[in-house]
Amino acid sequence: MKIENVVFDVGNVLFGYNPNKIAATLLPTDTPVSEYVSHLFLADIWQHLDRGDINGDDACDIIRQTKPNLDKCNLKNLIENFYLHLDPIYEIHNLFTSIATTHSVYVLSNFQSEQFDKLEQLYPFFQKSKGKIISAKINKIKPEPEIYELTQTTFNLIPEKTLFIDDLDANIKAANNAGWNGIIYKNPDQLKKELKNFNII
C-alpha cells in the first residue's frame, strides 16, 4: 500500500544530539562535565522532563538531593538551553521539505515543551509539517503505545499508509505494533536508500 504520511523524530534524525558536547559548551570551565551528563541527560530524570511529568526546577532539586555538588544554576542552564546546541542535519531538513511537497509530513518527538517551541522558531522547515506531537505537551512518551494512538487519531492517519523515522529500535517496534511502517535512522544516505524502497523519493 502506498505511503501517504511520513512522521519524523527530532533528536538524532533532524538534529544530532550529543550530551557531552552540549554540556561542555554550556558549562563553565573546570566543571565536572561527565557528572552533569550522567545525572541529567543520561538519567531517568531526563525522561521525566521529556514526558512533562516535572519541570526544570523540580528536576534540579531532585538531582541535587543525591548530587549536592552539582550547581543548580548549571543544571537549569543545561535544561533550558540544550536545544541551542543540537547539531542541525541540514540534509535531512532538505529531505523533510522535499517530502512535504508530495506527502503529509508530521513530527513525533520526545522533547520538552518550551524548548521545542523555541527550536521550532529557529528552523522554518518545521512549518512544512502538517502537525506535531511533542511528548511533554501530552504527558506521553515513546515508546508508550498511547502516543502512537494519539498521533494516529489526532491526524486521522491510516496505519499501513504511515511511515515513521526514528533512531531507536524500541520506538520503531512500538510503531510497528501500531501497524505503522518504520525506518531506523542511521545516516542520510541510508535513509534515502530506504525511502526509495518505499517509493517516497
For the chain, list the domains and their CATH numbers.
5-16+86-197 (3.40.50.1000), 19-85 (no CATH)
Are 134 and 179 in contact by the 8 Å Cβ rule? The answer is: no
Q: pLDDT tens per residue, the chain (201 residues)?
A: 799 999 999 999 999 999 999 999 999 999 999 999 999 999 999 999 999 999 999 999 999 999 999 999 999 999 999 999 999 999 999 999 999 999 999 999 999 999 999 999 999 999 999 999 999 999 999 999 999 999 999 999 999 999 999 999 999 999 999 999 999 999 999 999 999 999 998
Supply the pTM of this predicted model. Answer: 0.96
Q: Where are the alpha helices (DSSP H) in the chain?
A: 19-26, 33-36, 44-51, 56-66, 72-81, 90-99, 113-122, 135-138, 145-154, 169-177, 188-197
Distance CA 61, CA 114 (A): 19
